[in-house]
Structures are given as C-alpha cells and as structure tokens.
Chains A and B, each alone.
Chain A
Amino acid sequence: MGVLVGRDTRLIVQGITGREGGFHADQMLAYGTNVVAGVTPGRGGTSANGVPVFDSVHRAVDHRGANTSIIFVPPAFAADAICEAADAGIGLVICITEGIPTLDVVRTLRFLEERGTRLIGPNCPGVMTPGEAKVGIMPADIFTSGEVGVVSRSGTLTYEVVNLLTEAGLGVSTCVGIGGDPIIGTTFTDVLDLFREDSGTRAVILIGEIGGSDEEMAAAAIAAGYPKPVVAFVSGRSAPPGKRMGHAGAIISGNTGTPQGKVRAFVDAGVYVGDTLDDVVGRVGDVIGPSG
C-alpha cells in the first residue's frame, strides 16, 4: 500500500545521461523501481543504465508506456522538462532539481493544471514506498516498510526521522518530500488528503519549517476533521526574520512564516508538535504501538 508510487509505477528518468540522473537511476533500479526509459534530447537511440534513452518524453511514453517521471534536468531547463512530461500525458512528475526560477514554476503549474498532472517538488528528495518503489534520491537502506506516512519540506531531516523510525521498530507507508521552494506543486494538505484515503497509513509525521503558510493550512485541514493521528515538527524555530535559511522557501517575512505561528496553529488543531525528532518518533510510537 502507500500513496503516489508503488508496484504499478512505470518511471521515466528525465536527464538520465547527466551525472546525478545516471547515479540515481542506478540506485532506483537497484531498489527494484520499474524504470522503463530515460529521456535526454539528442541522445535518443542510445541506452543508459541498461534502460533505453529517448529524445522526448512523448517518444518514451509511446514506446515504453509510463505514468511517472522524475526530473534531474538543470534548473534553467527543468521547468520545460516538467511541462514536456505533462504534455506527454504523465500524471505524476517528481522534480528533484533545486534552483528553478520561481516564476518558471508559476507558469509550469498553470500548464500542469490544464493537463491534470500532479507535480511533487521542485527541490525535493522524491517519494518512496518502502518495499515497492523508490522515486527519488533518499538513501534506501534506512527505510523499513510500515504504517507511518511521512511528509516533509526537508530532505536530510526526513532521512533523520525515517532512521529514527527504523531504530524504534516502526516503518514507513510512503515518504513524500514536498520540497523546500516557495512555490511547490503538492502541499502538506494535498498529501494529508492522500494519506487519509490510504488504508496502509495509520499515522502521519509532518515535518514543516519556517516560511509561507502551508503548515497553517495543513493545521486548519486537520482541525476540520482528520481521521488519523498527525505528529508535527517545525524546523527553524531559532531563525532570525528576513534571512533565507538555505531553502529558497525558508524565510520569515514580516509576520508570516514564523515558527510561533506554525506551532500555535498545530497545537490549536490538537496536533502534537515535537521539540526534537526523538520526541516526534516517540510520540508516534505511543500512538500506534511498536508493531506499526
């Protein structure tokens, strides 16, 4: 079970002939992900990592059939690559690339809206359903399969919490990195909706950070009635206002995006907010028991 990616994923790797794309295509194949094709304009007819390479996503889809794409294309060209995947009928695009200009993402999401394609990211570690499919760059070794859904704006912080879950004998249903950029395709609220319907997910860990109001909106959605326990964490509680903390989206501007506002919104919604990731995992263990 799990959401977004699984055994039925047929994956295209856009930018497979690049250093990152090639390396992670290998890692995903080694995990057992069904990588059906690679795409690099001008490299059609060759193969990479034992996978056929096509000049365009349209051709890759025509020849191999695919429902998901992962993007390792450099920032200047990544928005175009996402749109190309959507135009070829790919329903789920996961964009790893960091540093895409924000207005490119705004335009891209408009294009995707018309075609009914979901974007995860950009600037995210990807999505993984342990035991089924890894569509991303996360280290597979630390994951075990289980019933905790994880959704996060941060990469390494996600790995930290997954590692702690594994140490605690808990496993993950699906782990979704939504990305650290100011404009992203899929928000906390969207992923909570997916986990709501997933019978394989019994509890959700939500890892937020300063900047924007995605956490506040997730809290409002939970307050309106959510059937599963959610445990939250908010990163950047000591960050000064006006400073961009690594992620393009992690910035307190004026009175929006503050950690206090986010923590308060969760607490008001009845969501436990851990002071450390150990607290978060401990709480999840209490809620669903060690067998989860």
Chain B
Amino acid sequence: MKLHEFQAKQVFAASGIPTPRGEVVSVASEARAAAERLGRVVIKAQVLVGGRGKAGGIKLAGSPREAQAHAEAMLGKPLKGLTVDRVLVEEALDIRREYYLSVTVDRTCKRVVMMASSRGGMDIEEMAAEDPADIVKLTIDPAYGPMDFQLRELVEQAHFEPSAGRAIGAIARQIYAIMLASDASLVEINPLVVTGSGAVLAADAKFDVDDNALFRQKELAQFREASEDDPIEAEAHRRGATYVRLDGDIGIIGNGAGLVMTTLDLVTRAGGRPANFLDIGGGAQADSVREAIEIVLMDPQVKGILFNVFGGITRGDEVAKGILAGTQALDIRVPIVVRMAGTRAEEGRKLLEGTKLVPATRPVEAAEKIIALARG
C-alpha cells in the first residue's frame, strides 16, 4: 500500500523529521487561504504516480491568487490517468542542495538497504541506470540496525555537505526506525533539501507499506481507502479477494497466483485481452466461485469468463460441483469456459457437459475458445 506524500509527511513529522509547513486542501479557494498563511507556496497534486512534476502536478505560486489558480487547474482533473482529489499547499523552500535518501528491502541480499546520493530530485532508477556510482548503499544488519559510524561514512561517501551531516545522520536513523515501526517496504526522501540557512527538510516523500503487515498497522491501514484508485479493486479487496483490474474484456479466474498469471499470458498470446487477475486460492468452493464471478462482472467491459482450475487436493469433480453451484445462483449472460486439470479432472468435465459452461482440457484450447465465444 502506497501512502500519499502528505500522509507520509504526517508520519515524518510525528517522528521528528523536519518537513516544510503545509496544508492539504480539496477546494481551490482553500488553497488561497492556505497560501495567505504560508507565504510563497508550491501546489502539489496528491496522486500516487511518479513524475508528477514533469506532468504538471507541481507548481510554484508567487501569490495567494496564483495558488488558487494552480489548485483550480489541478483539482478534479486527471494527472497521468488519476483524478486529483487533493493538493498539498506547501511553503516554498530556499533550496541550496537537493539530496536523495531512502531505505528499502533488498530482495537479493535479503536485508534492508539504505541508499544515499548527492544527486537528489532525480528518479532513483534513472540515476541507477546513468550513474550507479553516485548512489551509496549501506546494508543494514537487522540484529544491530544502522550504527553511527556507518551513517557518518554514508554521509561522507555520498558527498553530503559536512555542515548538514549531523542532521542528515539523524534523519537517516529516523527513517530506519519509521520503516521498522510502520512495516514499510520503502521510505524515500527525494529531494532531501538543505536550505540557504542550513536547515535540512524532507521536501518530498514516498512511502510503501507492506500489505502483509496491515493487520498490525491499523493506523496506516486507515489510509488505504483514500489511496485506492480503482473502485472495483477497492470493492474486491474489501471482500478479501486477490483481484487486479486490467484493461481487456476476458475475465480470468483461477486457483493459485502462478496459474492465474499464466492464464493471462495464454489469453494474451492467443490474441485476447484479459480484463482482470483473480485468484480464488485453494480448490474451488461454491461460495468463492460465486463471489469471484460477481467481482469479475462488476467490470462492464467483461464479455466472457475463463476459469482455469487445477484439481489438486480438492478433486476435479468437487471443483466442478463448486463451479456449477456458484454459477447457478447467478444470472450470467456472458459465456464461461472452464479448463480443468489434475486429480479427477475428467470426471469434473463430465459434470459440466450439458450445462451452459463450456469445458476445455488444454489451456491454449481454453484461451482460444473463450476469445471466440466473447467475440461471437
């Protein structure tokens, strides 16, 4: 789960990391009022996409009137495909230096890694591609956390201003503490700004929380609804389904993430366009099948559904019964192809004969069948 910039900055401020003064508003006139309080401001669209600045989502306002005009131009409008519901009105900083600082979980070394660079304000991935030597990394031992001497070395190797070193070291220590306390998978400050007067502030923030940890991050979990962009995904997640919306017209349901992913690939390869990813997990119980179809059909684009299930410990005939019971309870007007393999798959397919459900044996054949039926 990603936090908005203003949410991340609330977490920062609560942990003592200096952030610019700012206010979040959803009405343009409030931006003007905020600017009157804050002075020269920056208007920043609160959407969960990278590259906001280039897309016109960050604007400097010299006067309260200009602040209102910028807010008006952003609010309710799409920015890189997402509607801007809120803007952050934030004091404009007198920037002397822009740095980069982050902590993230490194999948390869299986540790938390802190990254620092004196080339702030740039996308870290671009930076990694262009000048990997400009990024300094510190691998953190989870038993000890970052040590003071390691942070001093990091500050030195990243060529940060010596006078700002102590403040940056403290912020580095804080973001690691925040990461542990909030189960973050990424905490990124980019840019970390040194002002003309030598103050160090987090001018922007990226903050990803590990979905697996939301059960113990109740406060952060409250941000979820506000951050979810797609209404069908939001509803699916509310019902506890593993659902990802895509932009095609073939609904895909299966058991197991890998199997569903592969089914998307096969449909794409056969010339179709998947409408979604939906994993119903182990076996196929009537209830979970019904729920899955309901969710998939919330997307009005769906013209056909492909089930791809593997009868494992839940046998094929049981799976077929689950699918039959689940579909019978619904008024379904799109074709459904059911591809089944594994234990007692043949018995399962026999049970589907004579019903509206179209059985299939091989995955490729199933993909071709549903594409043809959805077009017909």
Chain A positions within 8 Å of B, measured between CB atoms, are: 27, 75-76, 99-103, 105-107, 109-110, 137-139, 141-142, 152-160, 163, 180, 182-183, 207, 209-210, 212-214, 217, 235-240, 243-250, 254-255, 275-278
Contacts and interface: CB of A to CB of B under 8 A. Distances in A.
Interface string B305-325: 000001111000000000000
Contact-residue size bin, chain B (C-beta under 8 Å from the other chain): 35 or more
B115 to A, nearest CB: 13
A103 B210 contact: yes
B257 A102 contact: no
B363 to A, nearest CB: 7
A245 B246 CA distance: 11
A235 B254 CA distance: 14
Contacts of A157: 256, 258-259, 262
A255 to B, nearest CB: 6
B258 A106 contact: no
Nearest to B313: A139
A240 B258 contact: no
B9 to A, nearest CB: 22
Interface string B158-184: 000000000000000000000110010
B262 A277 contact: yes
Nearest to A276: B364
B313 A137 contact: yes
A275 B364 CA distance: 11
28 contacts: A76-B215, A99-B212, A103-B180, A106-B111, A110-B111, A139-B311, A139-B343, A142-B342, A154-B256, A155-B258, A156-B258, A157-B256, A157-B258, A157-B262, A160-B341, A163-B341, A183-B107, A209-B261, A236-B261, A243-B244, A245-B257, A246-B242, A246-B244, A246-B258, A246-B260, A246-B277, A248-B211, A250-B261
A156 B261 contact: no
Contacts of A163: 310, 341-342
Contacts of B110: 105-106, 109, 183
Interface stretch (B86-94, B265-273, B350-358): B265-273
A213 to B, nearest CB: 6
A248 B212 contact: yes
Contacts of A276: 266, 363-364
B37 interface: no
Interface in B6-60: none
Given A156-B259, A246-B277, A246-B279, A76 B216 contact: yes
A158 B310 CA distance: 10
A183 B180 CA distance: 16
A126 to B, nearest CB: 12
Interface in B137-152: 141-143
Contact of B213 (A102, A138, A141, A255): A102
Given A141-B343, A142-B342, A107 B142 contact: yes
A117 to B, nearest CB: 14
B255 to A, nearest CB: 6
Contacts of A243: 244, 277
Given A101-B216, A103-B210, A106-B105, A246 B261 contact: yes
B129 interface: yes
Interface of B: 105, 107-108, 110-112, 125, 129, 141-143, 179-180, 183, 185, 210-213, 215-216, 242, 244, 246, 254-262, 264-269, 274, 277, 279, 310-313, 341-343, 362-364
Contacts, number: 157
Given A102-B105, A110-B142, A255 B129 contact: yes
A22 to B, nearest CB: 13
Nearest to A164: B341
Contact of A102 (B143, B210, B311, B362): B210
Nearest to B345: A163
A254 B267 CA distance: 25
A107 B110 CA distance: 9
Contacts of B129: 255
A244 B245 CA distance: 11
Nearest to A75: B212
Given A102-B185, A152-B258, 7 more contacts: A103-B105, A106-B112, A157-B258, A210-B261, A212-B108, A246-B277, A247-B257
A240 B275 CA distance: 12
A287 B258 CA distance: 25
9 A-B pairs closest in CB distance: A154-B258, A156-B256, A246-B257, A157-B258, A139-B312, A101-B213, A238-B268, A156-B259, A254-B125
Contacts of A275: 269
Nearest to A103: B183
Counting chain A CB atoms within 10 Å of each CB, the highest count among B212, B213, B266, B268 belongs to: B212
A163 B262 CA distance: 16
A95 B343 CA distance: 25
B276 to A, nearest CB: 11
A103 to B, nearest CB: 6
Contacts of B254: 156
A196 B301 CA distance: 49
A101 B257 contact: no
Counting chain A CB atoms within 10 Å of each CB, the highest count among B105, B216, B255, B312 belongs to: B312
Contacts of A236: 261-262, 264-265
